[in-house]
């Protein structure tokens, strides 16, 4: 029941806001993503995101190919990196 998105491994290294707002459409806009990050309402792999411009890298991947994004308390999104 978790919405899933796919992204290319070539897109690793882009900023968090680019990945979740442009590539995967977890957020409707970059502005909303930044506001939620500033408000402390966004997590990547169960760790709070404090900088919307941080890079998403290989080190963030779970099992080498997954990213778990949490928006608010109950909205989870799984991103598969191929």
Each residue's pLDDT tens digit, 15-68: 999 999 999 999 999 999 999 999 999 999 999 999 999 999 999 999 999 999
- For tokens 């995967």, the residue is 24
- Prediction pTM value: 0.93
Return the closest-CA partner of residue 79 out of 44, 49, 51. 44
CA 59 from chain centre, in angstroms, equals 14
Residue pair 54/13 in contact by the 8 Å Cβ criterion? no
């Amino acid at each position: 029941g978790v919405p899933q998105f796919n992204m290319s491994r070539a897109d690793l290294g882009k900023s968090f806001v680019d990945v979740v707002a442009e590539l995967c459409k977890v957020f409707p806009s970059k502005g909303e993503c930044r506001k939620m990050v500033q408000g402390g309402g966004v997590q990547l792999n169960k760790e709070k995101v404090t900088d919307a411009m941080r890079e998403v890298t290989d080190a963030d991947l779970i099992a080498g190919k997954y990213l778990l994004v949490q928006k608010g308390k109950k909205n989870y999104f799984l991103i598969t990196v191929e």
